Amino acid sequence: MEILNLITSDLLYDLARGPLVWISFLILILGTIYRTVKLFSFTRKKKNAWPVSLPKKKAPDGDTDKSAPLIPKWKFTVFGAHPVMISVSTVFHVILFIAPIFLLAHNIMLDEAVGFSLCSFPEKVTDYMTIVFLVCGLFFLLRRIFIARVRAISSVYDYIIWCITVAPFLTGFLSYYQVFDYKTMIILHMLSGELMLAAAPFTKIFHMVFFFFGRFVLVTQHTIGKGSRTW
């Protein structure tokens, strides 16, 4: 009971909508910068071990190239192997970023706080986005629980990160529709959102940066483009 009282208290409410917001954003921004700088400091510019330009081979006289079929490239990407997972994952990550940023309520508050705001989606759109997001989240959860290969490398930590990511959306949705006690829900929404922001740079959520670094900057077998750095 006392915990409930604390959660619904004005003190926590003020804290969550005031200083904690700024603190969590500060942690997110500084933490991300810190760890990204670290990434660069851990790696170095790759020297080309092959300075000689490759001789351009002329195609043989035959028409080998003409007969070579066009196999759709995506078939051999991870999308070809797991189309559902990749689609769900893409949708999930896109909504994760754009829904909160272009949510009307967030922008109104931003406007009130700093007198500046971004454009917003209609509320219906963000509403549907949230539902889609939660369905995607559920997909990930079920996958983690029921698919043997995912279960084999899942730990409590993975479930905690799942909760941290999904909670702000769930509580936001519930508070918007005023399911359960609104004040409790909105406080939980703010707290969980702040937790997610603060956790991002220092947990596995940091893959948000590492993905771009690992696939576009580092030189590996699977680099997209040329890459420029190496460990």
Partner 1 sequence: MNEQKIVEIDTVKIKKRLKQRKAKMKMSLSVCARCTLCADSCFLFNNNNKDPKYMPSYKFINSIGRIYKRRGKVDRAALEKIREIVWKDCVLCTRCYCPFGIDIPDMIAFARSICREQGVYPTFED
Partner 2 sequence: MVKGQRKPIDEITGALEKYSNVLNIGCGGCVSVCLAGGQKEVNLLNAELESIYKQNNISKKIEGFTVERQCNMQYLDELDDIAGGYDCLMSMACGAGVQYLAEKFPGKPVFPAINTVAIGIDREIGIYEEKCRACGECVLGYTGGICPVTRCAKGLFNGPCGGTNKGKCEISNDISCAWQDIYERLKGQNRLDDILKIKEPMEWKNQTQRTIIQEPYMKRYT
Binding residues for partner 2 (CB under 8 A) = 48-50, 52, 54-55, 60, 62, 64, 67-71, 75-76, 219-221
Based on the shown chain and the rule CB under 8 A, indicate whether residue 156 belongs to the binding site for partner 1.
Answer: no
In the complex, the smallest distance separating the C-beta of residue 43 from partner 1, rounded to whole angstroms, is 8
Binders of partner 1 among residues 39 to 58 (CB under 8 A) are 39, 42
Q: Which stretch binds partner 1 (CB under 8 A): 37-45, 66-74, 127-135, 189-197?
A: 37-45
Distance CA 136, CA 4 (A): 30
CB 27 within 8 A of CB 197: yes
CB 30 within 8 A of CB 200: no
Based on the shown chain and the rule CB under 8 A, indicate whether residue 207 belongs to the binding site for partner 1.
Answer: yes
Based on the shown chain and the rule CB under 8 A, indicate whether residue 204 belongs to the binding site for partner 1.
Answer: yes
Distance CA 221, CA 231 (A): 14
Based on the shown chain and the rule CB under 8 A, indicate whether residue 74 belongs to the binding site for partner 1.
Answer: no
Based on the shown chain and the rule CB under 8 A, indicate whether residue 148 belongs to the binding site for partner 1.
Answer: yes
In the complex, the smallest distance separating the C-beta of residue 74 from partner 2, rounded to whole angstroms, is 12
Q: How far is CA 123 from CA 92, 105, 134, 147, 176, in A?
A: 18, 9, 16, 35, 10
User: Encoding tokens for residue 2?
Assistant: 């006392």
In the complex, the smallest distance separating the C-beta of residue 99 from partner 1, rounded to whole angstroms, is 20
Based on the shown chain and the rule CB under 8 A, indicate whether residue 31 belongs to the binding site for partner 1.
Answer: no
Q: How far is CA 187 from CA 82, 102, 107, 170, 195, in A?
A: 38, 20, 18, 13, 12
